[in-house]
């Protein structure tokens, strides 16, 4: 059984138990605040009664007590607010940290199947909704208990009036039952549309230069207007249906409340109800309204909280959001030998999965029984036309994708048996479009190796042909590069990514079209840097420009998911017409 396969349950209670002493103090202080507020009402009534009866000494004492209650109530309220501010932020931070950590465990296809907004809402927004709603839940429960006491008191004053109050409450709760079902459905649809809008808006902000350069402003404005309109319609439907339920319930409460008072008048006339009891019911009639309203608010909080919890839990359940899986074998002193044994790899567009061959059309096979070996400390390249499977091989080696059948071995060990640390430290991958973090150049490098010396940083910058550029900057290596490295050119971003990979010193280094954005001079520098690594690591290159792989030890020539030829550059150029034509076409362009 894999070490990485853990319990994916998400338990919200564990985040609160960490601060249980503070939370208990918060609850007790909250109760004290509400008890003081309730006693204020009682003592105000008592003081007015004493003044009316002329008991001034007693009234003074009552109002002195009242002043004390006001101090207690407001002091408690301030403590409650501060405790909530402090610990709600800590709890939200803990939850977001774990959600972000869990997002790193999700496999690559999970990210392909979900947009950015889906992830952002679950990690950033849902924890805030849940934590703040739990505070509102406690507040509503306290108010409900206060109102319930009054409602029960009113109901016990007269049997018939009690039946009437009970009937009103039952009808209102039936409405709330159906309202909750509709709310749950509407909230899910609302959050789905919110995910889409958030993701699309993020894309617009990040791609503003491309939008302007391609003259897409009007088209994307129309698309965004359509998306915002759809979101508005879903939001309006949610609010409209909720309004109907609220309106119906409130009408029943108001109308039946006055009917109850009307019945009380007839009961007084018939001697079935005393005037004093009627006045008590009349004065506190609003408590029935408060009880039902707060119960409705509680219902709404519960629905919204459950939706948020379900969305966060889904990141951990390994169903909708599939996680990576690893073995428990540790591989030390990795040499870098790689072997594919009868590897088959399928892509089912309907299932949007990369490793399920149960119902796949053979036309969607990427590979079928692919077999090859890469010797340790050699430099090899995969070439072929677009769609031949070059990048897929790299993703399989780094286990971003999982094979449908067959085996992928590193140093004769199946990569599915390797633990995460062994696999990830063995391989460095430089993508065609690497992500550069919104921090300084130095900090981007130190992410790879915290204790890297200035000499080490200088060396990798030189090897990546980035040293002269960095030194030309006013702040040098401490220059911030902006979100996604926006302050750097495409080539500079790739060279910084290559520097990160070189600093890591992995036994296997993969370059996926990593020189595609470089000019000829920088490309030649990177080529020389890769050549300098020969014999130190196993280097695997996918290159669009064949001129960059002239000095590799072996080239695998791919065509429609099969290796159709293997050899050195000179051997393929001499013996393979398709390879020679690709080289000439590249140089003609």
pLDDT digits (tens, 9 = 90+) for 434-447: 778 888 999 889 88
Q: Which residues of the chain form CATH 3.40.50.300?
A: 375-403+418-588
Instruction: With CA atoms as reference, report the closest residue to 87 among 13, 16, 140.
Output: 16
Give the pLDDT confidence score for residue 477 in this predicted structure: 92
Per-residue tokens: 508: 């296997």
Q: Which fold has domain 375-403+418-588?
A: Rossmann fold (3.40.50)
| Residue showing tokens 């300084």 | 440
Which of 163-167, 412-416, 466-470 shows the highest mean pLDDT? 412-416
Cα separation of 352 and 108, whole Å? 12
CA 304 and chain centroid, separation: 17
Give the pLDDT confidence score for residue 408 in this predicted structure: 93
Asked whether the predicted pLDDT for residue 283 surpasses 70, the reply is: no
Give the pLDDT confidence score for residue 146 in this predicted structure: 67
Which class does domain 158-324 fall in?
Answer: mainly alpha
Asked whether the predicted pLDDT for residue 360 surpasses 70, the reply is: no
Global pTM reads: 0.67
Per-residue tokens: 545: 């420009």
Q: How confident is the model at residue 196 (pLDDT cuts 50, 70, 90)?
A: confident
| Residue showing tokens 């990177």 | 526
- Over residues 321-348, the mean pLDDT reads 86
Ramachandran region, residue 266 (left: φ > 0; alpha: ψ -120 to 50; beta: rest): alpha
Answer for the pair 311, 153: CB distance below 8 angstroms, yes or no: no
Answer for the pair 556, 389: CB distance below 8 angstroms, yes or no: no
Which of 394-403, 431-440, 520-529 shows the highest mean pLDDT? 394-403
Give the pLDDT confidence score for residue 41 in this predicted structure: 65
Q: Which residues of the chain form CATH 1.20.1560.10?
A: 158-324
- Buried (b) or exposed (e) across 39-71, using 16+ Cβ within 10 A? bbeebeebbeebeeeeeeeebeebbeebeebee
Asked whether the predicted pLDDT for residue 350 surpasses 70, the reply is: no
Asked whether the predicted pLDDT for residue 185 surpasses 70, the reply is: yes
Cα separation of 390 and 513, whole Å? 10
Run of H or E residues at 556: strand 554-559
Q: How confident is the model at residue 284 (pLDDT cuts 50, 70, 90)?
A: low
Percent of the chain with pLDDT over 90: 11
């Amino acid at each position: 059984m894999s070490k990485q396969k853990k319990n994916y349950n998400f338990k919200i209670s564990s985040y609160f138990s960490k601060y249980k002493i503070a939370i208990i103090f918060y609850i007790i202080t909250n109760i004290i605040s509400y008890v003081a507020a309730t006693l204020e009402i009682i003592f105000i009534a008592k003081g007015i009664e004493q003044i009316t009866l002329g008991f001034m000494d007693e009234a003074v004492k009552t109002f002195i007590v009242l002043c004390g209650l006001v101090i207690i109530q407001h002091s408690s309220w301030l403590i409650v607010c501060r405790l909530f501010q402090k610990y709600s932020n800590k709890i939200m931070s803990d939850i977001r940290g774990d959600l972000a950590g869990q997002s790193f465990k999700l496999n690559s296809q999970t990210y392909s199947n979900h947009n950015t907004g889906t992830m952002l809402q679950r990690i950033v927004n849902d924890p805030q909704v849940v934590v703040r709603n739990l505070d509102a839940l406690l507040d509503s429960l306290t108010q409900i208990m206060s109102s319930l006491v009054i409602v029960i008191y009113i109901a016990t004053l007269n049997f018939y009036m009690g039946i009437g109050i009970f009937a009103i409450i039952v009808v209102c709760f039936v409405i709330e039952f159906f309202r909750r079902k509709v709310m749950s459905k509407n909230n899910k649809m609302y959050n789905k549309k919110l995910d889409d809008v958030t993701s699309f808006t993020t894309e617009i902000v990040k791609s503003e230069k491309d939008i302007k350069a391609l003259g897409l402003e009007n088209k994307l404005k129309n698309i965004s207007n359509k998306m915002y309109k759809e979101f508005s319609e879903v939001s309006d439907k949610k609010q409209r249906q909720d309004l109907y339920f609220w309106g119906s319930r409130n009408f029943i409460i108001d109308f039946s409340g006055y009917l109850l008072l009307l019945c009380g008048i007839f009961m007084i006339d018939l001697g079935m109800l005393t005037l004093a009891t009627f006045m008590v019911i009349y004065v506190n009639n609003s408590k029935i309204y408060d009880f039902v309203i707060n119960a409705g608010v509680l219902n709404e909080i519960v629905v919204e909280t459950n939706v948020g919890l379900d969305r966060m839990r889904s990141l951990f359940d390994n169903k909708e959001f599939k996680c990576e899986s690893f073995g428990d074998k540790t591989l030390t002193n990795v040499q870098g030998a790689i072997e594919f044994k009868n590897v088959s790899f399928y892509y089912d567009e309907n299932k949007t999965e990369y490793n399920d061959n149960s119902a796949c059309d053979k036309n969607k096979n990427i590979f079928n029984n692919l077999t090859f070996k890469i010797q340790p400390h050699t430099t090899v390249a995969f070439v072929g036309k677009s769609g031949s499977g070059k990048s897929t091989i790299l993703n399989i080696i780094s286990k971003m994708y999982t094979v449908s059948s067959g085996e992928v071995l590193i140093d004769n060990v199946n990569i599915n048996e390797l633990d995460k640390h062994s696999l990830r430290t063995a391989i460095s991958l430089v993508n065609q479009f690497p992500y550069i973090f919104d921090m300084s150049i130095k900090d981007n490098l130190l992410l790879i190796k915290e204790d890297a010396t200035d000499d080490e940083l200088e060396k990798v910058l030189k090897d990546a042909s980035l040293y002269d550029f960095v030194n030309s900057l006013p702040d040098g290596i401490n220059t911030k590069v902006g979100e996604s490295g926006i302050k750097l050119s495409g080539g500079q971003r790739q060279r910084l990514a290559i520097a990160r990979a070189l600093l890591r010193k992995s036994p296997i280094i993969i370059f996926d079209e990593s020189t595609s954005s470089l000019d000829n001079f920088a490309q030649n520098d990177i080529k020389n840097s890769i050549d300098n690594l020969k014999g130190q690591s196993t280097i695997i290159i996918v290159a669009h420009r064949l001129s960059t792989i002239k000095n590799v030890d072996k080239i695998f020539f791919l065509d429609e998911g099969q290796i159709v030829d293997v050899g050195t550059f000179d051997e393929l150029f001499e013996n393979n017409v398709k390879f020679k034509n690709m080289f000439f076409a590249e140089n003609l362009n």
